Amino acid sequence: MLVIVGYLIVVSSVFGGYMAMGGHLGVLYQPLELLIIGGAAVGAFVAGNDLKTLRATMKELPKLLRNAKKLDKALYMELLALLYVILAKGRKDGMMALESDIDDPQNSAIFAPYPRILKDLRVTEFLTDYLRLVVSGNTDPFEIGELMEHEIETYKHEAEVPAHSLARMGDALPALGIVSAVLGVVHALASADLPPAEMGQLIAHAMVGTFLGILLSYGFVTPLSTLIEHHVAESLKVYQCIRVTLLASLNGYAPQLAVEFGRKTLCSTERPSFTELEGHVREVKNR
């Protein structure tokens, strides 16, 4: 939703300012210029990316128009509470007692109270995979930490592919606007026998191409790339929280201290306070 609001601000500011200075919107209506710029941009985008990148980008774009915030404080409270329950049971009954819960989290009594975590299959898989390694025994905390970091980096690389592809398209749009403008100037010069007023109109139409290329780049496409990067950076916090909490447990810290380590990795806007987390953990203990 904020994307649409931002676009409306861009359009109203640019075209409203243009009209305020006495400009006429009809001059800017150049569908053929849009065809040249948009068609060339889409063609270059298709030519410069593989099918996997194209699918990932098309899948990501609709998400940007929705304003559903998935990674909020409530979700992190669920995550930290789940980690506490898992580590507390492992500390009390032994990690082998978690084997059935890890193998089938969708039907686990431990995971059941945390539906938002279960709904995210990738996060659930990340957590259970490393718990499985811990249950197997003979685990070196340093090696598991490194393995987790490599997987998080792989996830980051995959998730940022649409952002990079859109950023390259945004970089290309001003140049494609110049291509459109040059073609318009060529057309104008080929009509040099026209009266000056008509020649001036043709030159003005040609210049619209440069304007559209720059506007589409910095006003519409590049912000989408930046937004995807923000979303990816935010989503990584879930994995970092799991990583730090499990490593703290492997290094001998009690479950309540281990989840405190995980809490510290979260952004300040979503991070529960120490008192909130402590109260939530106390509630979980009393269930």
- pLDDT at residue 139 above 80? no
Query: 287 pLDDT band (50/70/90 cuts)?
Result: low
Instruction: Specify the 3-state DSSP secondary structure of 17.
Output: helix
Question: Residue 247 falls within a domain, yes or no?
Answer: yes
Sign of CA dihedral 52, 55, 61, 67: negative
Residue 9 lies in a domain: no
**Does 128 fall in a domain?**
yes
Q: Is residue 15 part of a domain?
A: no
Name the H helices within 21-114: 25-28, 31-47, 51-65, 73-93, 99-103
* pTM of the model as a whole: 0.86
Check pLDDT > 80 for residue 137. Answer: no
SS3 119: helix
Please give the span between the terminal C-alpha atoms of the chain, in angstroms, as a whole number.
39
- pLDDT category at 13 given cuts 50, 70, 90 is very high
**Residue 151: inside a domain, yes or no?**
yes
* Domain residue limits at 88: 33-61+70-287
Predicted pLDDT of residue 68: 54
Q: What is the pLDDT of residue 285?
A: 67
Question: What's the distance, CA 223 to chain centroid?
Answer: 12
Top-confidence residue, 77 or 280: 77
pLDDT digits (tens, 9 = 90+) for 177-212: 999 999 988 988 888 788 888 888 888 888 999 999
Among 7-11, 61-65, 177-181, 239-243, the least confident range: 61-65
- The verdict on residue 125 lying in a domain is yes
The model's pLDDT over 53-101, given as tens digits with 9 standing for 90+, comes to 999 999 988 888 776 557 888 899 999 999 999 999 988 888 888 888 9
Predicted pLDDT of residue 69: 56
CA distance 88 to 30: 66
174, part of any domain: yes
Q: What is the pLDDT averaged over residues 163-171?
A: 95
Domain count, the chain: 1
Name which residue leads in pLDDT, 190 or 157: 157
Burial class (CB in 10 A: 0-12, 13-18, 19+), 213: buried
pLDDT at 194: 82
Residue 101 contacts by C-beta under 8 Å, 6 or more apart in sequence?
86, 108, 109, 110, 111
Instruction: Tell me what pLDDT residue 63 has.
Output: 84
Q: Give the mean pLDDT of the chain.
A: 90
Residue 11 lies in a domain: no
